[in-house]
Amino acid sequence: MFSYRHGFHAGNHADVLKHMVLIAVVKHLTAKPAALTVIDTHAGAGLYRLDSEFADTSGEAQDGILKLAASPLAAQAPALVSDYLELVARFNPSGRMKIYPGSPFVTQALLRQEARDKLRLFELHPTDSKALAAHVEQLEAGRQVAIKREDGFEGLRALLPPPSRRALVLIDPSYEIKSDYGRVGACIQESLKKFATGTYMVWYPVIPRPEAHELPRRLKTLANQAGKPWLHVTLNIGQSPERADTHTPGETPPRQGLTASGVFLVNPPHTLKPALQEALPKVLEVLGRGRGQAQAVEAS
């Protein structure tokens, strides 16, 4: 069974990028009255304690949400950043940052009961899927949210196209097994054939591994072949000085030591690129450390 547990990484810089983009996309898609279906193929546990043993062990949120929220920049942040900080703050009404919402809770907070928006979640890990189910139950969201302890790549097949004909698919594997990279590409290829107008959002780690390097290139090719617009964004916060020399090129660093990640979207909202171009330099200003800082937004 997999050993990856998102609790160790919750609220890190990669979550900041992913969830900031996720909020912008869901907000855009829910601005229209028609129902939206969001399918989260790799949902995680849903909610994470930032003061838990997991989070304390890795301390990754310190270089992510906690740093961003404590920055003076938070007071006059660009829309994407302030929307993100406000949403996370809703889970922490006391003002102390104790809880971090994962993608299912980030999404659900923006969905509408009256429009009959739906959230479909897949999580394979026995402990995390149990935690997810318990967390979702507290929402009392009824039939809006459904969870399956199944392979998300497989489960997605049965859900496309959704009856609502409007959908966002979030694919956020842990890439613990190399085959995840290939499965993401195959999944996007098949999904675009079944449901070409859906919005697809893939997260991936930027690491010196051929599969990770190849994935965004493959996704660009697939989007271009399907004649669909795409957007590719990466955030590289640079290595902290004490970790700079510990990484051997060619080897996969543990995700704990991850310094960069990317999000690739097919059929992104047209408003996303300018919003990211405004937000990312500010995020980097706060989260960036040492050398190697970089950010990019490319679009077709």
Q: List residues near ligand SAM by CB under 6 A.
A: 2, 4, 6, 18, 42-44, 102-103, 122-125, 128, 151-153, 172-174
Minimum CB separation of residue 165 from ligand SAM in Å reads 24
Nearer residue to ligand SAM within complex by CB, 139 or 226: 139
Do β-strands 199-205 and 167-171 pair in parallel, antiparallel, or remain unpaired? parallel
- Is residue 128 annotated as a catalytic residue, yes or no? no
Q: Which of 83, 172, 180, 245 is catalytic?
A: 172
Q: At 236, which helix (H) or strand (E)?
A: strand 230-236
Q: How far apart are CA 203 and CA 197, in angstroms?
A: 19
Nearer residue to ligand SAM within complex by CB, 156 or 276: 156
Nearer residue to ligand SAM within complex by CB, 44 or 78: 44
Minimum CB separation of residue 24 from ligand SAM in Å reads 15
Shortest-Cβ-distance residue relative to ligand SAM: 102
Minimum CB separation of residue 234 from ligand SAM in Å reads 17
Q: How far apart are CA 77 and CA 70, in angstroms?
A: 12
**Among all chains, which residue has been given the structure tokens 């919003």?**
275
Minimum CB separation of residue 112 from ligand SAM in Å reads 21
Cis peptide before 269 (omega within 30 of 0): no
Nearer residue to ligand SAM within complex by CB, 124 or 212: 124
Nearer residue to ligand SAM within complex by CB, 102 or 262: 102
Sign of the torsion angle spanned by Cα atoms 208, 211, 212, 218 = positive
Spatial neighbors of 55 by CB under 8 A, at least 6 apart, are 7, 8, 10, 11, 48, 49, 61, 100
Q: How far apart are CA 144 and CA 37, in angstroms?
A: 9
- Name the 3-class secondary structure at 177: coil
Q: How far apart are CA 286 and CA 76, in angstroms?
A: 13
Minimum CB separation of residue 296 from ligand SAM in Å reads 21
Are 103 and 174 within 8 A, CB to CB?
no
How far is CA 77 from its chain centroid? 20
Active site residues: 172
